[in-house]
Chain A
């Protein structure tokens, strides 16, 4: 089992729709969870972080965390063509002494005008 898994893409949604991106992780002791957006040919940029169970909203983005199910999701409301990118789920995995951030394979999102 991979440490961080994401729903396979590509995901296509029409402009104005809700895009739903899912992620599961294997290490129960993980405490910090992140969503990064990566445009084609660019480096990842952080768009959301979440640490507690429940929902966290930031503009059109909502991150949801369920530690019991080891599940993280990202909802993008009113999707825009500019949201077309690869979305990477990342988990802060505790180590013996130090943590490290592990990324999932990414889900490619295409918003169709």
Chain B
């Protein structure tokens, strides 16, 4: 049973560039949530996707956008990268459109230079 998979594992970008991160949820899960975790901090909620729609959003600017595909996989896009966007980006999946018992992927470490 495949768990949550994320790609890439590491990414280095420069200010102003755009980045796309990918996530495949755990088998049987249909809800994907994205989190940003800065070093030494707890994960911060970015947004959540269910049935291909964004249904909850945290306090992140419109530079952060996402998408969910019919197979439940998801992408996180960040435009006009800032140095402060450097962080670990975590994808978490859950089942039945709920937010109970999140299962996390290994994350994508984004460095913005």
Contact = CB atoms under 8 A, between A and B. Distances in A.
Do these two chains interact?
Answer: yes
Interface of A: 4, 32, 34, 42-46, 49, 88, 90, 92, 95, 97-106
B107 A46 contact: no
The main secondary structure of chain A at its interface with chain B is: strand
Contacts of A106: 41-42
30 contacts: A4-B42, A34-B102, A42-B106, A43-B90, A43-B107, A44-B90, A44-B104, A45-B104, A49-B101, A88-B42, A90-B102, A92-B100, A95-B56, A97-B55, A98-B50, A98-B56, A99-B56, A99-B98, A99-B99, A100-B99, A101-B45, A101-B99, A102-B45, A103-B35, A103-B42, A103-B43, A103-B44, A104-B42, A106-B41, A106-B42
Contacts of B107: 43
Contact of A100 (B42, B48, B90, B97): B48
| Interface size grouping (class) on chain B | 20 to 34
A98 B105 contact: no
A44 B43 contact: yes
Contacts of A46: 101-103
